[in-house]
Chains A and B, each alone.
Chain A
Amino acid sequence: MIDKTALWTVIVLLGLGSFGLRFVFLGVIGDRELPEWLLRHLRYTAVAVIPALVAPLVIWPAATGGETDPLRVTAAGLALAVGAVTRNLYAALGVGALVMFGGGWLLGA
């Protein structure tokens, strides 16, 4: 059972802290010009963060206790390839879901 004081402390402080992280640059920098080298790095934030977030989830999924699942790796790889080639988010989603859930059903997992 989670202690109520601990729970509310975490909810409130985590909320404030998360807002702080989101606000830090927007609030402090405002519309001041940022240097070109920094802007160049920021252009690649999204495409660098997403694989960094996703790769461990695909390779070591918590649902299997961290064991690599060939089905998940295949589904992820195909979804990425289809997305990169077709430039279509829905095509990538469809292929990934089909492989993951269709494959799981076929293999009786």
Chain B
Amino acid sequence: MPQPNVMSSFWRGVRDGLPFLLVVGPFALLFGVIATEAGLNVFETLSFSVVVIAGAAQFTALQLLSENTPVVVVLASALAVNLRMAMYSASITPHLGALPLWKRMITAYFLVDQTYAAAALNYEKHPNQTLAQKFAYFMGVVLPICPPWYVFTLVGAWLGNAVPEGLGIDFVLPLAFIAMLGPSLRTGAHRVAATVGGVAALVFAFLPYNLGLIAGALLGMMAGAEFERRMLPQEGKS
């Protein structure tokens, strides 16, 4: 029987995850439409979203597959796009690493950009939660993000070619991430990490296999950590 504060953590997660429906919905819809246009049937399209459950990697793989790229190159590119998931895994481990194996496996499966971002920001803001509360919060965030990912993929696959292009729908993805980023820039270290991350990703954009993203992220993290180390006496921990 879950305790009331665990349930309230779950519902807090649902509430915090809800805005991402605005991102996940159109993005999944778009994947469904594009996959159908590439010649995938409804079952194949849905399987892609359920098995892989990673938007950017799915788009990358689909794009390369339709260019008849060798499977090895498709996999290497799409996995490179997903390398950031290993960083999410490392980042979430201090919070959820004590869970039993099956719950860690569930967490790993549902660890996507949006669930990670919401959970990591929440755990940092409220560090005194119990393990059960943290897991409940995570599953709460998952609810309005992951099942809609499947559902809207399906809707997109059915709609097929009906969605017109050129509406700027591609901008929904960066906009949602930016809206999430602004409020989390709480300290100088956070702002330094974000600035270095963004600029470095642009500088290293010439690198193949999306490694510019990895380079930007690592340099941003290093910059933030170094800034915190130097400012610690003045600014206090986070």
B71 x A10 contact (CB < 8 A): yes
Report whether B178 and A41 are in contact in the complex, using a CB–CB cutoff of 8 Å: no
**Interface check B85, CB cutoff 8 A:** yes
Q: Which of B93, B117, B174, B196 contacts A57 (CB 8 A)?
A: B174
Q: Which secondary structure characterizes the binding site on chain B?
A: helix
Residue of A whose beta carbon sits closest to that of B23? A93
A35 to chain B, nearest CB (A): 11
Q: Range of interface residues on chain B?
A: 35 or more
Interface size class of A (residues with CB under 8 A): 35 or more
Chain A residues whose C-beta falls within 8 Å of the C-beta of B185 in the assembled complex:
47, 84
Q: A43-B228, A52-B213 are in contact. Are A87 and B40 (CB under 8 A)?
A: no
Judging by beta carbons under 8 Å apart, are B225 and A41 in contact?
A: yes
Across-interface contacts of B167 in A (CB, < 8 A)? 101
How does the 8 Å CB contact mask read for A70-85 relative to B, with 1 for contact and 0 for none?
Answer: 0010011001111111
Complex Cα gap A52–B229 (Å): 22
Indicate whether A52 sits within 8 Å of B216 (C-beta atoms), given known contacts A47-B185, A83-B182.
yes
Query: Contact: A41 with B89, CB < 8 Å?
Result: no
Over the window 55-76 of chain B, the binary record of Cβ atoms lying under 8 Å from chain A Cβ atoms (1 yes, 0 no) is 0110001000110100100110
How far is it, in angstroms, between the C-alpha of A15 and the C-alpha of B82 when the chains are bound? Answer: 11
Judge whether A45 and B87 touch: CB under 8 Å: yes
For chain B residues 36-88, which have a beta carbon within 8 Å of chain A?
38-40, 44, 47-48, 51-54, 56-57, 61, 65-66, 68, 71, 74-75, 78-79, 82-88
Given contacts A2-B38, A92-B178, contact A21 B85 (CB under 8 A): yes
Residues on the A chain within 8 Å of B111, using CB: 22, 26
- The answer on a CB contact under 8 Å between B182 and A81 is yes
**Complex Cα distance A15/B180, Å?**
27
A19: B residues at CB distance < 8 A? 108-109
Tell whether B238 is near chain A: CB-to-CB under 8 Å: yes
Among B78, B82, B193, B216, the one with the most A-chain Cβ atoms within 10 Å of its Cβ is B193
**Residues 196-236 (chain B) with a chain A CB within 8 angstroms:** 196-202, 205, 212-213, 215-225, 228-229
**Given A47-B185, A55-B198, does the pair A72, B171 have CB atoms closer than 8 Å?**
yes
Q: Which of B4-12, B97-105, B155-163 touches A?
A: B97-105
CB distance from B149 to the nearest CB of A (A): 13
Shortest CB-to-CB span from B82 to chain A, Å, is 5
Q: Given A21, A27, A46, which contacts B120 in the complex, CB threshold below 8 Å?
A: A46
Contact of B164 with A by CB under 8 A:
no
Q: How far is the CB of A91 from chain B (nearest CB, A)?
A: 8
Residue B151 lies at the interface, judged by CB distance under 8 Å to chain A: no
Q: Name B's A-contacting residues (CB within 8 A).
A: 19, 22, 38-40, 44, 47-48, 51-54, 56-57, 61, 65-66, 68, 71, 74-75, 78-79, 82-94, 96-98, 101, 104-105, 107-109, 111, 113, 116-117, 120-121, 124, 166-168, 170-171, 173-185, 189-190, 193-202, 205, 212-213, 215-225, 228-229, 238
Chain A residues proximal to chain B, CB less than 8 Å: 1-3, 6-15, 17-19, 21-27, 29-32, 34, 37-63, 72, 75-76, 79-90, 92-93, 96-97, 100-101, 104, 109
Q: Across chains A and B, which 3 residue pairs bring their CB atoms closest together, nearest first?
A: A83-B182, A48-B220, A44-B224
